[in-house]
Structure 1
Amino acid sequence: MAAVEMSPHPMEEYFSEQGVLSRMEGFEFRPQQLQIAMRVWDLLHSPIPGTLAIEAPTGIGKSFALLVPSLLWATENDRTVLLLTAGHALQGQLVNKDIPLLGEFLPRPFRFGTLKGRTNYLCLRRSAELEKGGFLAFGDEGATSVKILRWSRTTETGDLSELELPETHPVLERIAASREGCLGRFCPMKSECFLQKLTLQAQNWHLIVTNYHLFFSHLDGGRRPFPVHFDAVLCDEAHRIPEAARSSATRSASPERFRKILSANHLSDLNKAFRNLDLPAEKLAEGWQAAVRGVERVFGRLALLSREESVFRQPLTGLRQDLEGGVEVLAGELERFVSRTVGGEQQQEVAEGFAVASQLVEALEDLRWCLDVVDYPRWATWWDGNQIQSTPVLAGASVREALASMEDVPLVCTSATLTVGEEFRFWEKESGISPSETLVLDSPFDLPTQMSIWVIDLGQRVTDNGYDAKASRVIEKMCDANGGRTLVLCSSKRLMRAVSARLKAKEREYRLLCQGEAPKEELLEAFRSDETSVLVGSLSFREGIDIPGDGLTQVILDRIPFPHPEDPIVRARRDLEGKETFIQSTLPMSRLFLRQAFGRLIRRKTDAGRVVILDGRALQREDWGIFQDFPGVPVKRVRLVPTP
C-alpha cells in the first residue's frame, strides 16, 4: 500500500527554518513557536469555535505566533481580531514595532490600531475651557496650557501620551475624555471628538489591540456592547484576566469624588438646566447643601473606624440611614429633572446639567452598594482610609457572565504562567474560562545549567522585631557580592524602604534604583541601560522586566509571596472557602507569583544567574512544593553565620 504524503501545515511556510520569517533579522527557528501558530490557525479555521489555553515560556516568540495566523485569517475572510494585553506598554510595543514589522512579510496588507481607555484621549470641549479660563498655570505661567491648545489643533489621534507629560500632571485630569461630564451626542464638538472618530475607524481594522480593563468595562452582563464588532479574541498575558475582571467590577466611593461632584460649579450647571426647562429650582440649593452635609457625615464616621473595624461583613445600616436622610431632597430633585431630559434633543446647558446629575446618581449608587456590604463573602468591602470599596472575591463568575455572548467567537489565551503542576485547574477557577483545548510547552532554556536557587533562612518571621534590619543586611551582602546586577523584590513597602536606606547609607560600585523615586517605565529604562545597577521594588515588579545578558544575574525575594492574611479580599476568601483556602488558592497563587519572579532571570539561552529567597520554609515545608515547577534546577541551602 502506497504511503500517504502529508501536506505541510500552512504555518510551516512562515515559521520553519527556511520559512518566510527566516528572512527577518534575528530570526531563530523555535519548534514551540511553530506549535503555537499551528494550533491558533487550526482553531480559527475550525467549524466549531473553541477556546485554546496555551502556557508558553518566555523566549519563544508568542506574539508573532499569535499574530501571523490571526492576520492571515482576518485578511482572507475580512474579519476583525481583538488582541488583549495587560497594559499600555505591551500595546505600544505591538502597535509601534511588532505588527508593522510583520506587514513586510505577510502577503496581504492589513489595517490595525490600538484602543485605550477613554481617559487616555483629549476632550476638545474641556481643553477649550483651558483657554476660556485664561490659560491655567501649573507652576509654569500657563506654558502647559498653551502647549496643549497648540497640540490639540494638530494631533490626529488625541492620544494624551503624545504630550509626554508626567502621568500625575494635574492638567491631564482636567482635559481627559472621562465619562464624568461627557455630553455624548449632545456635545457641540461631537463631530470632532477623537474617541468617536477612532471608534469609527476601528470598525474597518483587521486587528484591534486593546487592554483587559477596557474590554471588561464594556462587557457588562454578557451583552457584548464593546464599541467595535470582533470575530476572534487573542488574550496575551492571560494570567492577568482575573485581576483585570475584578478591577473592572470594583465599586468605590470617596470624599474626594463627592467633593468634585458636589461643587459650586456643578450646582450652577444644574440651576441653569432647571431654568432652561422651566423647572422650579427652589429646593435644589437646599437639597444640595443637605447632601454635602450628609455625605460628609458618612465619610467622617468611616474615618473614625479602627483598622479591624474597617473590614465589613454586615451592612452598615446606620451609615446608610445617615446618607439617605442627607440626600433625600436632592435625590427627588434629580429624579424630577432626569425624567424631563430623557429622550429628545437637548440644548448644551441642559446636557451639562444632565451630565452632572448622571455623575451624582452613579456616585450615590456606588456608595449605597458599598454601605450595604452586598453579598459577603462573595464580595469584599472595606474602608482603606481614603475610600470605601467593594470588589468580587472571585472573578470567575464576572468573566463567565461577560463572555456569555461570545460562544461563537474563537478565544485564545496565552501566558508563561497559567498552570500549577502543569494543570490548568487553578487558572480555570480563577478566570472562569474553561478551555476546550490546552497546550503546555517546554522552556527553550536549559534551566538546570543556567540558573540556581539559593535559600537563606533568616530565622525570623516577617512580623518579628528586627526582621527588616536583618533582611536588609543579607540583601546588601548579596548585592555587593554580585557586583550589583540585581532585582530585589520586597514583600512590603516598609522593607523596601529599609533596604533602600541600607544600600544608600554608603557609596556603592553600582547605581541604586528604588521604586517610587521615578515613574516605573523610567526606572526600568535606567535599569536596562546601566548594566551593574540594582533595582529595589515591590512584588509588582515581578512582571514587565526584560533584561537579557549580564544586566540581571540575580533576583532576590525576602519571602515566599503569600498575601497578607489580613488583606480584606484574603479574609473574605477565607470565610468563603473555609480552611481549604490555603491549599486551594493561597499556595497555587504564590507558586505562580514565584514563577513570574524567577522568569525575570533567564530571558536568553546565554543568560545565567541565581534566585535568592530569604525564607527557610521553601525547603522546610516539602508538602508545599515551592520549587516543584523548577525540576532539575539546583537548590542550595545557605546558612547565616552569627555576627559577634
Structure 2
Amino acid sequence: MEKSKVLSIDSIYELLEKKTDLEKRLNQINMSNLIYKGMRDCKITFIEAPTGIGKTYSSLIPSIVEIGLNNSKILYLTAKIVLQDQLIKKDLPNLHKIVEVDFKYGLLKGRSNYFCWLRFDEAFRTHGLIYQNELDSIRNWARVSRDGDLNEYDDFLVHELKDVISVDYEDCPGRKCPYLLSGACHYFRLVNSLNDLDILVSNYHTFFFNLINGSFPFDFDHILMDEAHHLPEILSSACTRQISKGSLNYFLPRGFALKIVDREPDILLSVLNDLKSLENYVNNLKISYENFFDELQNYCIDPKINKDSKIVTFHKTLSFLEKKGNEIIDISKKILKEFDEWEKFFQKVGTKGLADAKLKYYKRKIDFYALAISDFLSLNDYPNFSYSFSVEKGYLSIEPVYVNGILKNFLDLQPPKSVTLYSATLTPDKKTFSYLENELGFKADNKIVYESVFNYKKQAKIIIPQNFNIDPKSSLFSTQVAYAVERILDDFGGHALVLFTSQKNLNETKRLIMSKKRKYRYFFQGEKPNIQLVEEFSNDSSSVLFGLNSFWEGIDVPGSSLSLLIIDRLPFPNPNDPMMIMREKNEGREVFNKSYLPNAKLSLRQGFGRLIRSKNDIGVFVILDFRVLKWGFLELFRPCDILYSWEAELVRKFVWEGE
C-alpha cells in the first residue's frame, strides 16, 4: 500500500458516504476506532456489535489504515463459509475500489478444497475406467485454474472424486513432490503467495489445524476473529479425538503396505519380503480393534448399563477391556518399530519423498489410535476430558470438557500483536463478557457492548401465549406445538420462520401441516441444501421455512418474507451431551447457572436476530415455552412490547399497517 495514500478512519467513512448509499452510523465508526486502538496498543479487544452496525466494514477500515501506516498483515477469521464469500466477493472488492489504495487481499481454505496433481494421478489409476470423461475434464480445468480451488468446479464434480483428488495433509510428500518441484502444485503456489497479501481471510478450523501441525502459512500481525461466539465449540472440536473400527479400516485398507512404496519401483523391489509380515501385523491389529469395539458395543447396549441412551459416557475404567486394549497397544508398538526400520532404510537408500510421506502418514494414524485406546483404558485427565461411546455410530470420543486456556495456547504458537473478538452475541445478558472470558480463559483489555441501531419498541413484539403452558418435557409437547404452529400460521398468513430444538418436534409439525390443504409453500430443512432453501424462502414472501439448529443463526432475510418468527422451546444444551454430563458431574447444581443458562440465552438471542435485519423490518416473535418467563430471559427483549396472548388481528395490524 502506498504511504502517500494512507487514509484515516474518518476520511474512509466520508468516502463511503459520498460514493455509496452507506449511511453514517456512529457506533460503526466507534467500533472501527476501538479496533484500531487495540491494534495500535497491541491489546486484546472484545466487542458485541448487534445486527445493523456493520461489523465487517467496522473491522476492515481500521485494518486498511493500519496496513497503510505500518505495513501490517491482517488475518481475518470466520466461522462460516457465507461470511468468507461475502468478504472476498463483496466487502473487500468494494472497499478496494472506493478507497483507491493498493492493499492486497486473498482467501485460504482448508487443504481439502484444493486440487492435487499427485493424488489425481493415483485416482486416474484406480478410477480411470469408471470416471475417465470426468477425470479428463478435471485435468483440463486444473491446467488453467489459478488456485486449484475445487469449489470452482463443484457443480460438475462427482463427490467421491473430490475426496481422492484433493490435497491431503497426511499424504503429502511436501518439498519432495515432483509437481511441487516443477511448479505445478496449486496449493504450494497459493501458500507461497500469501505473504504478498495485506489481508488474508480464512476460517477457524484451517487456522487451528495448521497451528496444530506446525504453523500457519501467513505471517500476520493482527487477528480479527469474527463470529467469535462459535470459538468455544470450535476449540472443543479442534481438540476432540474420535476413533472406530470402521475408520481404522478406512485408513489402513487391504494392501496398505504396498501403497507405501508402490509409487517408487526401486524401493518396492527392496522391501517385497517385508510387505507380507507388515500386512500380517496390521491384520492382527484390525482383528484386535474389532474385538475391542465389539465388546465395548455389547457393554453399551446392555440394558443393565444403558436403558435407551444413544451415547454412553464413562466415569470409571472398564477392566474387562484392558486385555484387548493392551493387545492393540502392543501390536501398534511392533508396527511402529517396523516402520522405524523402514524409515532408516529409506534414509539410507534415498527416495523421491513419496514413500516417506506415506510411511509418516501411517505412523501418525497408528500412533493416534493407540494413544486414544491407552487414554481410554486409564481415562487419562478425567474429569477434564469426557470419554463417551456412540451406540448408534460406533465411535469412541475423547473431548475436552472445558476449553479455557486452549485459545491462548494456540496463539502462543504464533503470537499476534493484537487480537479482536467480535460478534452480534458474545454476552448472555447484553452486559458483561465474564461468561466468554471464563469459557476461553482469555481476558480482554478493551471490551464494549454496543446498543442496537434498530428501534425494537416500534419494530418487534414478543408473544408468549399463556394458554400454551404445556411442559416441554411432556410427551404431549410435540403434538401441541404442531397444533399451535398450524393455528398461528393460518391466522397470520405465512411469512414465517419456524425454529425447532429437536427433530421430533419438527417432524410432528410437518406431519400435521402436510396432512392439510396447503395454503403456502412450505420449506423443510433437509429437503434441499440450506442455501437453496433460504433463497427460495426469501423469493416467496408468503412461504414458511421450518428449520433446526443451523437455522438459528446465519440466515439473513430482510423484508416481508420473514415477518413472523416462532420457536418451539428454549434452546438449552442437550443434557445427554457428554460434555454437559461431565460439567454437571464437576459443577453439581451450579452447572445450570454456569453453563445451561448462558448457552440458552446466547442461542435465543441468535434466533431472535433472524427477525429484524434492517430499519424497515417489522416482525413478531412467538415463544411456545412458558419457561421464558423465568431466569431473566425477558430482559433480553427489552424494549420490545411483550404480549401474553396470541391476538391475530392485533398482530396483523402491527406488522402490515405499523399500528
State if a TM-score over 0.5 links the two structures.
Answer: yes
Q: 1:55 aligns with which of 40, 48, 51?
A: 48
In 2, Cα distance between the equivalents of 1:339 and 1:185?
23
Looking at structure 1, the residues matched to 414 and 360 of structure 2 have their Cα atoms a distance apart, in angstroms, of: 34
- Which piece of structure 1 moves more, 532-541 or 125-134? 125-134
Residue by residue, what CA displacement relative to the aligned partner does 1:15-42 show, whole Å, maximum 9, x if unpaired? Answer: 2xxx111133321111111101111222
Q: 1:638 aligns to what?
A: 645
Q: How does 1:37-186 map to 2 (within 5 A)?
A: 37-46=32-41, 49-133=42-126, 135=128, 137=130, 142-165=132-155, 169-186=159-176
Comparing 603-612 with 492-501, greater Cα deviation is found at 492-501
Q: Indicate yes or no: 2:458 matched with 1:449.
A: yes
Residue 438 of structure 1 is matched in structure 2 by 447
Q: Which residue of 2 aligns with 1:338?
A: 340
Corresponding residue number in structure 2 for 1:551: 561
Q: Which residue of the partner structure matches residue 383 of structure 2?
A: 377
Work out which of the residue numbers 303, 313, 319 in structure 2 matches 1:311: 313
Secondary structure at the residue paired with 1:376?
coil
Q: Corresponding residue for 1:531?
A: 541
Distance, in Å, in 2 between the alignment partners of 1:271 and 1:298 is: 30
Among candidates 488, 504, 509, match of residue 514 of structure 2: 504
Query: Cα offset for 1:278?
Result: 8.0
What is the CA-CA distance between 1:339 and the residue it aligns to? Answer: 4.9
SS in structure 2 at match of 1:54: strand
User: Distance in 2 between the 1:242 and 1:170 partners?
Assistant: 32
Task: Give, in whole Å, the separation in 1 of the partners of 2:377 and 2:542.
Answer: 51
Change (3 A) 1:498 1:170: farther
Structure 2 segments unaligned to the other structure (5+ residues): 1-6, 648-659
Q: Tell me the distance in 2 between the aligned counterparts of 1:135 and 1:492.
A: 44
| Residues 142 and 460 (structure 1), Cα distance of their counterparts in 2 relative to 1, 3 Å cut | farther
- Aligned 8 A contact 1:320 1:372 in 2: no
**Structure 1 position 95, deviation (Å):** 0.6
Measure the CA separation in 2 of the matches of 1:418 and 1:166: 39
**Length, aligned pairs only:** 619
Note the C-alpha offset of 1:326.
4.2
Q: Deviations over 1:274-333 (max 9, x none)?
A: 754687445313212111111111222233213558211223444353133146345313
More displaced 10-residue stretch of structure 1: 171-180 or 383-392: 171-180
Deviation string 1:344-395 (CA, Å, 9 cap, x unpaired) is 5533345434433333333333444345433222211211232111111211
Quote the offset at 1:102 in angstroms: 0.3
- CA shift for structure 1 position 570: 0.8
Aligned equivalents of 1:612 and 1:114: distance in 2?
A: 40
Partner in structure 2 of residue 213 of structure 1: 205
Which of 221, 225, 229 aligns to 1:235? It is 225
**8 Å contact from structure 1 (residues 276, 349) kept in 2:** no
Q: Which residue of structure 2 lines up, in the alignment, with residue 4 of structure 1? A: none
The yes-or-no answer on 1:11 pairing with 2:13 is no
Aligned with residue 249 of structure 2, among 248, 259, 272: 259
The one-letter amino acid paired with 1:116 is K
Match of 2:652 in 1: none
Matched residue of 1:394: which SS?
Answer: coil
Q: What is the TM-score when the length of structure 2 is the normalising length?
A: 0.89
Change in CA separation of 1:315 and 1:115 when aligned onto 2, cut-off 3 Å: farther
Whole-angstrom CA distance in 1 between matches of 2:534 and 2:180? 39
What's the secondary structure of 1:456's corresponding residue? coil
Tell whether the 8 Å contact from 1:251 to 1:390 is kept in structure 2 after alignment. yes
The letter of the residue matching 2:284 is A
Within-5 A mapping of 1:403-442? 403-405=411-413, 409-421=417-429, 422-442=431-451
Deviations 1:577-604 (A, max 9, x none): 2211101221111111111100100011
1:255/1:296 contact within 8 Å kept: yes
Please state how far the C-alpha of 1:617 moved relative to its aligned partner.
Answer: 1.5
- Checking the alignment, whether the CA contact within 8 Å between 1:130 and 1:136 is kept in structure 2 is no
CA drift at 1:226: 1.6
How does 1:319-334 map onto structure 2 within 5 Å?
A: 319-326=321-328, 328-329=330-331, 331-334=333-336
Deviation of 1:116 (Å)? 1.0
Partner Cα distance (2:270, 2:174) in 1: 19
Matched, 1:195 2:187: yes
Distance 2:168 2:490 in 1: 47
Farther-moved stretch of structure 1 (285-294 vs 181-190): 181-190
C-alpha RMSD of the superposition: 2.4
- Quote the residue 2:598 is aligned against: 588
Contact (CA 8 Å) 2:332, 2:367: kept in 1 or not? no
**Who is 1:492 aligned against?**
502
- Is 1:75–1:206's contact at 8 Å kept on the other side of the alignment? no
Q: What letter is aligned with 2:642?
A: V
Contact 1:136 1:145 survives alignment (8 Å)? no
Q: Does 1:285 align with 2:279?
A: yes
The residue number in structure 2 matching 1:614 is 624
Equivalent-residue separation in structure 2 for 1:575 and 1:250 (angstroms): 20
User: Relative to structure 2, which stretch is displaced further, 297-306 or 207-216?
Assistant: 297-306
Q: For the residues of structure 2 that align with 1:98 and 1:350, how far apart are their CA atoms?
A: 43
Give the match's secondary structure for 2:644. strand
Task: Determine whether 1:574 maps to 2:580.
Answer: no
Contact persistence 2:482–2:509 (CA under 8 A): yes
Deviation, structure 1 residue 242: 1.0
Instruction: Return the letter of the residue paired with 1:456.
Output: P
Amino acid at match of 2:619: G
State the distance in 1 between where 2:318 and 2:261 align.
33
Offset, 1:136: 5.3
Q: Which TM-score applies when normalising by structure 1? A: 0.90
Residues 115 and 367 of structure 1: CA distance in aligned 2, closer, same or farther (over 3 Å): farther
8 Å Cα contact 1:83/1:208 also seen in 2: yes
Pair 1:265–1:76, CA change in 2 (3 A)? farther
Partner Cα separation in structure 1 for residue 129 and residue 44 of structure 2? 51
2:653 alignment partner in structure 1:
none
Contact 1:82 1:232 in 2 (8 A): yes
Rounded Cα–Cα distance in structure 1 between residues aligned with 2:596 and 2:325: 37
* CA distance in 1 between partners of 2:215 and 2:110 (Å): 15
Q: Call closer, same or farther: CA 1:291–1:628 in 2, change over 3 Å.
A: same
Alignment-mate amino acid for residue 21 of structure 2: G
Shift of 1:55: 0.8
Alpha-carbon distance, 1:524 to partner? 1.8
1: CA distance, partners of 2:378 / 2:148: 40
Counterparts in 2 of 1:389 and 1:576: CA distance versus 1, 3 Å: same
- State the match for 1:26 in structure 2: 21
Contact 2:339 2:359 in 1 (8 A): no
Q: Name the CA shift for 1:353/1:400 in 2 (closer, same or farther; >3 Å).
A: closer
* Whole-angstrom CA distance in 2 between matches of 1:379 and 1:503: 43
CA-CA distance at 1:443 after TM superposition = 0.4
| Bigger helix fraction | 2
- Indicate the SS of the match to 1:550: coil
